[in-house]
Amino acid sequence: MSIVSIENLSFAYPDGINALSNISLDIQKGEKVGIAGANGAGKSTLLHHLNGYYLPVQGSVTIDSLKVTRKNLEKIRQIVGLVFQNPDDQLFMARVYDDIAFGLKNLGIKGNDLEQRIEAVLQEFQLHHLQDRPPSHLSQGQKRFAAIASVMVMNPPVLIMDEPTSDLDPRNRRKLIDLMHRLSLTIIIVSHDLDFLWDTCNRIVILSKGAIAADGPAQEILSCNDVLQLNDLELPLRLQ
């Protein structure tokens, strides 16, 4: 059974711009799916339907058997963890520790359970030495991992990430690739970094003008120059 199921999803912005056109897509538990496409293809709009930032108007989105509707938003957002493109949109507390604890405390988690879950994430992301720093005093790479940690501490079955390598240097990019390999959950990544998708995903969906233009095994799709060029993309750098 699919953990994410999208059926005939269409979406237009108030100014009339059509962002998604009749999207149907099923993602199985444990899949790592990359979503690629040129600017304006509808990638981020699709992503924001998966945790209820946008609610379906035409068509439907189902997450782990729950329809994405206003009444289900709290449950949906416990299942789907969203890492924003800009970490500054995710980190807003006085200390990194407080950002990581924020979601857990909102769920009423406290005491040893709270401390143990925070400790596990601090260790996994190697953030102990940064836990008392204000996010504004972190490097972009440190902010990125702190933002991911603030989502992963919630133990979401589905992790979605918007352009996660956009501000990473090569060392931190490699750390993120290694992390993606270690995580055993469903991961959906929107990215222009096709080499990153090659390294982390087993399936690629290409969007073009709000519709699905290609869907298949990652390395098969990403090595097909004709498909990529047709959708205003280029081969990953490793293949050029």
β-pairing verdict for 211-217 and 203-208? antiparallel
Q: Which two tokens mark 199?
A: 């390294």
Average pLDDT over residues 116-130: 92
Please tell me the predicted confidence (pLDDT) of residue 197.
98
Please tell me the predicted confidence (pLDDT) of residue 129.
93
Q: Which of 33, 32, 12, 37 is nearest to 22 (CA)?
A: 12
* Residue 1: band (very low, low, confident or very high) from pLDDT cuts 50, 70, 90: confident
Q: For residue 167, is pLDDT > 90?
A: no
Question: How open is the CA angle 68-69-72, to the nearest 5 degrees?
Answer: 85
Q: For residue 121, is pLDDT > 90?
A: yes
Mean pLDDT of the chain: 94
Q: For residue 93, is pLDDT > 80?
A: yes
Q: Which of 219, 129, 132, 139 is nearest to 172 (CA)?
A: 139
Please tell me the predicted confidence (pLDDT) of residue 16.
81
The pTM assigned to this predicted structure is 0.94
* Residue 164: band (very low, low, confident or very high) from pLDDT cuts 50, 70, 90: very high
- What is the per-residue pLDDT across 19-72, written as a single tens digit (0 to 9) for each? 999 999 999 999 999 999 999 999 999 999 999 999 998 999 999 999 999 999
Give the chain's domains with CATH numbers. Answer: 2-86+157-239 (3.40.50.300)
Asked if 152 contacts 121 with a C-beta cutoff of 8 angstroms, the reply is yes
**From CA 115, how far away is CA 87, in angstroms rounded?**
23
List of residues 6+ apart from 86 with CB closer than 8 A: none
Q: For residue 193, is pLDDT > 90?
A: yes
